[in-house]
């Protein structure tokens, strides 16, 4: 794995204690480095890799760490490292497909404080924030909230309102977004191109912390929220020239088994024509829980074709965590 500690932001981009009304170093020490190893046979190994590096944020005094789920999905080994250099093994407690949050339990004392959780609802577009990866001030970035809006990802993922920040943090995965009072308001998920005015700027998409409270107890005890799983098709779809185009299908997934192919254009779900990627996924989820049959109308080589996809619970395709 590459060493993530041999760089730093230029001093003008780093937050300064004298400009803040909270203990900056204490807040930043709550952000730990997270490294995971995933077996080669894992379902996500070909897409996300077998070695994943990012950050997590300590949210409870017992060493409960919040991160972004793709870092720990199907992980067999997890190591958490503090800014002081303490390395502790971690166990992947849970992953929520709907929000993208992941939880890791430290299997020893991390020796760092838990950060207080705030609310993304208290932050407006234009507000300043700190986007912090593990490594203290060197890896903390003065950022600004540039948008709060819906986000849809091709992997069958929708957030009603995500947070977008700029400038971009180069190690965004699992990094903590901290507001002006020193509270955690979100966890970094993606690098994105976002339009502000007439300009395209590179920034980050952040999952709002507000989504955690309703599912935290279930994730910590059950490994996932106690609700029916959404229907998953394994159909990776993007918007190209205003059309919802299948960019790929998961091997042996529901869409592939039903005959959906790369390059197909999705015209309707159960007779309803979706106007956007988010609308497509919401139409699929309205067909019932995982296992529901999803009727699709697709356009292939100029011809219209009806396809019925027997959906699945994506979690059934993933390796389960083991406590060694």
DSSP states of 42-63: STTHHHH-SEEEEEEEE-STT-
Domain span at residue 166 reads: 1-227
Whether residue 204 sits in one domain with residue 252: no
* Count of the separate structural domains present in the chain: 2
Dist CA 258 CA 240 (whole Å)? 23
**Residue whose structure tokens are 């002081």:** 84
Instruction: Indicate whether 158 belongs to any domain.
Output: yes
β-bridge pairing 157-166 and 199-208 = antiparallel
Domain contains 324: no
* pTM for the structure as a whole: 0.96
Q: Are 266 and 298 in contact (CB under 8 A)?
A: yes
Q: Can you give the pLDDT at residue 322? A: 78
| Rounded mean pLDDT for each run of 10 residues along the chain, 324 residues in total | 70 96 97 98 96 98 97 97 96 96 98 97 97 97 97 98 97 97 98 85 97 97 95 97 96 97 98 97 98 98 96 96 72
Question: Does residue 278 come out as left (phi exceeding 0), alpha (psi in the -120 to 50 range) or beta?
Answer: alpha
Q: What is the number of alpha carbons within 13 Å of residue 218 lying toward its C-beta? A: 13
Q: Please count the other Cβ atoms lying within 10 Å of the Cβ belonging to residue 259.
A: 14
Question: What is the model's pLDDT at position 2?
Answer: 40
Residues 160 and 15 in one domain: yes
pLDDT (0 to 100) of residue 1 = 35
Q: Residue 272: which CATH number?
A: 2.30.42.10
Q: Give the C-alpha distances (Å, rounded to integers) separating 119 from 186, 195, 208, 211.
A: 8, 24, 8, 9
* CA 112 to chain CA centroid, nearest Å: 24
Contacts of 316 (CB under 8 A, 6+ apart): none
What pLDDT does 323 receive?
A: 67
State whether 244 and 223 are in the same domain: no
Q: How far apart are CA 246 and CA 267, in angstroms?
A: 11
Same domain, 246 and 313: yes
Give residue 288's region: left, alpha or beta (phi > 0; psi -120 to 50). left
Confidence at residue 3, expressed as pLDDT on a 0 to 100 scale = 46
The enclosing domain of 153 has a CATH number of: 2.40.10.120
31 is a domain residue: yes
d(CA 141, CA 133): 9
**Residues 105, 163: one domain?**
yes
Both 16 and 164 in a single domain?
Answer: yes
Determine if residue 256 is left, alpha or beta; phi over 0 gives left, psi from -120 to 50 gives alpha, anything else beta.
alpha
């Amino acid at each position: 794995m590459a060493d993530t500690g041999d760089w730093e932001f230029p001093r003008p981009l780093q937050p300064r204690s004298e400009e803040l009304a909270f203990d900056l170093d204490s807040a930043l020490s709550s952000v730990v480095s997270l490294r995971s190893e995933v077996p080669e046979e894992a379902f996500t190994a070909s897409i996300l890799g077998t070695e994943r590096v990012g950050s997590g944020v300590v949210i409870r005094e017992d060493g409960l760490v919040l991160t972004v789920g793709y870092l720990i999905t199907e992980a067999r080994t997890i190591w958490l490292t503090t800014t002081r250099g303490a390395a502790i093994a971690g166990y992947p407690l849970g992953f929520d497909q709907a929000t993208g949050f992941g939880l890791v339990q430290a299997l020893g004392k991390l020796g760092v404080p838990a950060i207080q959780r705030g609310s993304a609802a208290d932050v407006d577009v234009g507000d300043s924030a700190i986007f912090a990866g593990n490594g203290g001030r060197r890896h903390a970035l003065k950022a600004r909230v540039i948008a709060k809006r819906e986000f849809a990802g091709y992997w069958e993922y929708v957030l009603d309102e995500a947070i977008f920040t700029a400038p971009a943090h180069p190690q965004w995965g699992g990094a903590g977004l901290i507001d002006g009072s020193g509270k955690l308001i979100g966890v970094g998920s993606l690098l994105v191109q976002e339009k502000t005015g007439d300009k395209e700027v590179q920034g980050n998409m952040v999952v709002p912390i507000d989504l955690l409270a309703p599912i935290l107890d279930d994730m910590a005890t059950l490994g996932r929220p106690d609700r029916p799983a959404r229907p998953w098709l394994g159909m990776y779809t993007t918007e190209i020239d205003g059309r919802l185009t299948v960019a790929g299908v998961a091997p042996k997934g529901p869409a592939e088994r039903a005959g959906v192919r790369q390059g197909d254009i999705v015209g309707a779900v159960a007779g309803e024509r979706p106007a956007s990627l988010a609308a497509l996924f919401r139409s699929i989820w309205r067909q019932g829980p995982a296992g529901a049959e999803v009727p699709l109308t697709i356009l292939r080589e100029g011809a219209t074709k009806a396809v019925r996809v027997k959906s699945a619970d994506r979690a059934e395709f993933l390796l389960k965590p083991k406590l060694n």
